[in-house]
Structure 1
Amino acid sequence: MILYFTADLMSTSRVQGPANAQGIALKVIGSKKGLLESINDETIALIVDLNPPARDAISTIQEAKAQHPELRVLVHGPHVQVDLLAQAKEAGADVLTNGQFHQKVGTILTQLAAG
Structure 2
Amino acid sequence: MILYFTADLMSTSRVQGPANAQGISLKVIGSKKGLIDTIDDDTTALVVDLNPPARDAISAIQEAKAKRPDLHVLVHGPHVQVDLLAQAKDAGAEVLTNGQFHQQVGSILAQLAAR
Per the shorter chain, which TM-score range?
A: over 0.9
The corresponding residue for 1:112 is: 112
In the TM superposition, what whole-angstrom CA distance separates every residue of 1:15-66 from its partner, at most 9, and x where no partner exists? Answer: 0000000000000000000000000111000000000001000000001001
Output the TM-score relative to the length of structure 2.
0.99
Is 1:55 the counterpart of 2:60? The answer is: no
Alignment of 1:30-109 (within 5 A): 30-109=30-109
Residue type at the aligned position of 1:77: G
| Shift of residue 67, structure 1, vs aligned partner | 1.1
User: Separation in 2 of the partners of 1:52 and 1:90?
Assistant: 20
The corresponding residue for 2:2 is: 2
Describe the SS at the equivalent of 1:35: helix
Give identity over the alignment, percent: 83
The corresponding residue for 2:17 is: 17
RMSD over aligned CA atoms reads 0.3
Is 1:28 the counterpart of 2:51? The answer is: no
Moved segments of 4+, more than 2 Å: none
| Shift of residue 78, structure 1, vs aligned partner | 0.1
Output the TM-score relative to the length of structure 1.
0.99
User: Separation in 2 of the partners of 1:18 and 1:50?
Assistant: 20
In the alignment of these two chains, the number of paired residues is 115
Residue type at the aligned position of 2:90: E
| Shift of residue 84, structure 1, vs aligned partner | 0.2
Residue type at the aligned position of 1:49: D
Unaligned 5+ segments in structure 2 are none
